[in-house]
Structure formats: C-alpha cells, structure tokens
Amino acid sequence: MSAVFGMQAESGQAPIAGEALAVSRMCKTYRRNLRSFPSRKTVTFAALKDVSFSLRSGRILGVTGPSGSGKSTLARCIACLEPWDSGELRVGGGRVDMSRPHTVRDARLQVQLVLQESAAALNPGFSIVEAVREPLDIQGQGNKREHADAAMTTLERVGLSSISASRNVKHLSTGQRQRVALARALTMRPSILVLDETLSDVDLGVRAEMVNLLLDIQSEQVISYVFISHDVRLTRHIADEMLFMKAGQISRSNADEQVCEDQSNCD
C-alpha cells in the first residue's frame, strides 16, 4: 500500500486535492496546579509538540508509539473533542477554528472517534439499536423510524445482524461492544474514522475479524482511517503509512521504530 504523507498543510496554504485531513504544527500542553503548603506550583506537560502530517482520502494512517507519547491526545484533537494550543487542523480542506462553532460542528460530523473503552461510550441503559441510532437522534435529521432503519443496516454491515437489536448493550462481549461502537460511528457516514486502540482489548480471533471488516468497509466506500495502536506489527499490516510518536513528537527514524518493536516499551 502507499499513501501521501508529509507536512504540506502549512498555515495559509491551499488544501491539496483529495486531502482528507491535515495537521500543521499542532501543539498541546496540559497544566496542573499542585497545592502543597505553603506554596502552590503549576506543572506543565507538553503532550503534542509541533506535530504535522496529512492524510489522503481513502487511505489509512497508522499511529504508534509508547504510552504517554501523545497518541490519544492527538486523537481527541483531530476529533475536535479537545482544543489545541497552537497550529492548524484542516478536515476535508476546511480549516477548523475552535472559536467558531460551525467549523467545529462540521468537523465533528466528518470525523468520528472509536475508543478503546467502548463501554464508556455506550449508555448501559440502551438497547443495541438505541445506542447505534443515538447520534442520528441527536442530529435531528429525519425521524426515529428512519434512524432505526439506518442503525439496523449498519449493524448488519458490522456483523451484528444475528444478535437481537433489542438486547441491552451491557450484556454484550467486549468484541460485540466494539462492533456496536463502530456501527454507531458509521451511521454518521463520516469521511474519517479515528480508531484509538479500538482493537486492544479483544482477543486475536476477534481482532483479525475486525481488521478484515475495516478493510472491507473501506473497499466499499470512500473513508479514511487514523489507526492508533501500540501494536506496531498490526499497525504496519493495516496502514498505508505510519507515524511513530515519542514524547509528543513525530519520529520516523529507524532507531525509533526499533524502540517500538520492543512491545514492553509500547504498552
């Protein structure tokens, strides 16, 4: 596989044709106040440092690196669930400005995030079909019958047609919940799916099925993936191109790849 990867999306530049996502010089710092008598101290942590990359439409970008390298922070910023301090984000060629709600709303419709902890994203009081159709209900386009039909179609696509749609999500296995979370994201018909350690908690057999499912979905529709995982071998298998992150920065050197090959360093 091959993909366009680089640092083309500098501020002020015209978007590249076919570019699904572009991040330019993104920085994110967390601050925490520590209170210890008699003084008060503020500790800062740079989660992202001058991160730049771009992703073409219909391609898969793998992001890997050790714990604390900034992978999940990057995922939340790309999905516009968290503001960044500086830099630029473009989704589908349009610049996202966190101070302008309409640009954030548009980006959130195009970018959907599927987390590792699917249970945290699903209301335990919901049935499967209610969980999948909820984003459509929130958007308010169409009626509930149309939303339910769309949810059922998506559930069938992710391999859950054999399970009763009225079944409560809290009774599902981890793999089944991940499929529900995937279906929930896909009902919004996003152009970009951010998968943040989505396959980390499932066994090898389910993981292989989910990888094949993701590739099948991509072969049927134009969708780009940002596939985030500490599993370097799996990421290499699925991705067109890869980012190696370390201490909030992108590294593409062979030395850093070797560090991530040691799975004890990429937990």
Which pLDDT band holds residue 41 (cuts at 50, 70, 90)?
A: confident
Query: Model's pTM, two decimal places?
Result: 0.84
Right CATH for 19-32+42-120+190-265 from 3.90.420.10, 3.40.50.300, 3.90.1150.10, 1.10.10.10: 3.40.50.300
- Residue 14's pLDDT band, with cuts at 50, 70 and 90, is very low
For residue 213 the two structure tokens come to: 């499912």
Q: What is the pLDDT of residue 255?
A: 36
Is the CB of residue 172 less than 8 Å from the CB of residue 88? no
Give the pLDDT of residue 39: 67
**What count of other Cβ atoms lies within 10 Å of the Cβ of residue 148?**
17
pLDDT tens digits, 58-73: 999 999 999 999 999 9
In the prediction, which pLDDT does 143 show? 87
How far is Cα 157 from Cα 149, in angstroms, rounded to an integer? Answer: 13
Q: Rounded CA gap, 61 and 134, in Å?
A: 28
Residue ranges covered by each domain of the chain: 19-32+42-120+190-265
Is residue 231 within 8 A of residue 31, CB to CB? The reply is no
Q: Is the predicted pLDDT of residue 17 greater than 70, yes or no?
A: no
117: which residues sit within 8 A by CB, 6+ positions away? Answer: 201
